[in-house]
Amino acid sequence: PSDYVRFEAQLDVKDEQQYTVEIEIRKFQFRNTSSLLLFIKDISQVKELGRMKALDKYKDMLLASVTHELRTPLNCIIPMISEAIQDDHVPLSVKDTFLKPSMNSAKLLLNIVNDILDYSRFKRNKLRLNFTDFNCIEKMTEILQLFEIQCKHKGITFILELDSCLPRTMYSDKNRLGQVIINFLSNALKFTSQGSVTLSVKPSSTNEENVVFKVTDTGIGLKEEHLIKLFTEFGKIEAAEHNSLNPQGVGLGLMISKQLVSLLGGKTGIKVTSTYGEGSEFSFEIPFQALQPETTDIIVEIPSKFQARPSLIVEPCECRRVLSVDDNDYNQMVIERMLKKLGLEVVKAFNGADAIKVMKDPARYGLLHCRFSTCHYISLVVTDLQMPVIDGLQLIKEIRRLSGVMGKVPIILVSATGEEIQVKEGFRLGMNDFLYKPLTEGLLQECLKAFHLSLIHI
């Protein structure tokens, strides 16, 4: 309007502090005289808040992009090293001197990437938990096997104490529970050069519905100043603080573990007792029949196994072909080798558009019809999420639009990050399962069992 004007400006005051102000000038009549009324409003805090929100959004996007770009090459590195370690033609000396240290370094990098990804999700209240029934004793035994070789190498005794009254079945997120315990054990091994590391699991003496998990070591122990920053962001004990330490990682593991214990129902949090020069003890207790937290904006349950959908199940045929869709040559090589070891034939496409061409006209691409009248040429589609031309979600949508059996082919979506909204959208569009990179042979084989393909067991 012509009777007022509004604009923003930067004001410098004597204390050299700069303010952002909104200036409004209004024209009005006062005693038959044209006058101007000046309003000046300090909007510095509003502007700063907007800038911080934009910066947080940018950091989230950057973290998601960086973790995806790091996990993608790891999806090739880890499986390839693993295959070389299992190869009988590779000399044992080469495995011990080069391959196994390389594998440990790659897994360390993956753990760091995962910690950063979890940290990003915590900041956005988007952490994902999946509550299921599982065998607690089997899970603890699996964890023991992860650390056996490392303990033998360091000359440390690993003790697993399982109480005879321990409930065999728990209802919780077994992977997140394992993540917390593995973090405790990894820290214990870092700071223990002799003696033992003990994982103890027993029913709580104060609450019959809880299970207590405790990790005890005979390591260097912690000083009082170390305890203060244990569970803070990037609260890492620097090597300079102790001449025998060279801890790896970025200092996010315990902070994430504290949050996870809370989400798993651990109302008393993580308890730490330590004597400098003698060792430390980390413990927590959670319900063995946990209730899922009410904070549904934080918890998103994603199906961990194939859930049968009659409309999507195709009748068996002898083709046993898997269409692998990924724009990365190395990822294609990894999944092709995994699938062929399971006795499956692999057809490759490097983006969603090429995959649709194969699905619509398989004979043109040399795919032969088998003896079954219901032959669908492709028995399963494994597709990456982020691809050029047509991405994984759009590909799912396009496949489900196809007529006949081709439109009902089971689809597995694979991703290095897999944000909550993308996974939910994938299931809504008709995918059958979701897997995170880096893929492992065991995880892939377990997933494929649901689709009734005849596999060669590895």
Prediction pTM value: 0.61
Q: Which residues of 151-186 are buried (b: 16+ CB within 10 A; e: fewer)?
A: beeeebebebeeeeebeeebbbbbebbbbbbbbbbb
The pLDDT confidence band at residue 395, using thresholds 50, 70 and 90, is very high
Q: How far is CA 56 from CA 60, 86, 120, in A?
A: 6, 44, 10
Q: Higher-confidence residue: 370 or 229?
A: 229
Q: Is the pLDDT of residue 250 over 80?
A: no
Confidence at residue 412, expressed as pLDDT on a 0 to 100 scale = 94
437 neighbors 314 (Cβ within 8 angstroms)? no
- pLDDT(142) > 90: no
Q: Does the structure show a pLDDT above 70 at 302?
A: no
Written as one string, the DSSP assignment of 87-119 is: -TTS-HHHIIIIIHHHHHHHHHHHHHHHHHHHH
- Whether the bond into 310 is cis, omega within 30 of 0: no
Of the candidates 24, 20, 22, 44, the one whose C-alpha atom is nearest the C-alpha of residue 36 is 24
**Which one, of 357, 349, 403, lies nearest residue 381 by Cα?**
349
Task: Name the nearest CA neighbour of 338 among 433, 415, 442, 259.
Answer: 442
Where is average pLDDT lowest: 23-32, 115-124, 449-458? 449-458
Tens digits of residue pLDDT in 171-203: 999 888 998 999 899 889 888 889 999 999 999
The predicted pLDDT at position 15 comes to 66
In 174-251, DSSP assigns E strands to 196-203, 210-217
**Number of alpha carbons in the 13 Å side-chain half-sphere of residue 445:** 13
* Mean pLDDT value across residues 423-438: 89
Identify the H or E element spanning 133: strand 132-135
Residue 416 burial (CB < 10 Å; 0-12/13-18/19+)? buried
Mean pLDDT of the chain: 81
Lowest mean pLDDT among 235-244, 280-289, 310-319, 405-414: 310-319
Strand order in the sheet with 33-42: 4-12, 18-30, 33-42
Banded model confidence at residue 446, pLDDT cuts 50, 70, 90: confident
Output the pLDDT for position 375: 59
The tens digit of pLDDT for each residue in 384-394 reads 998 888 999 99
Res 181: pLDDT: 93
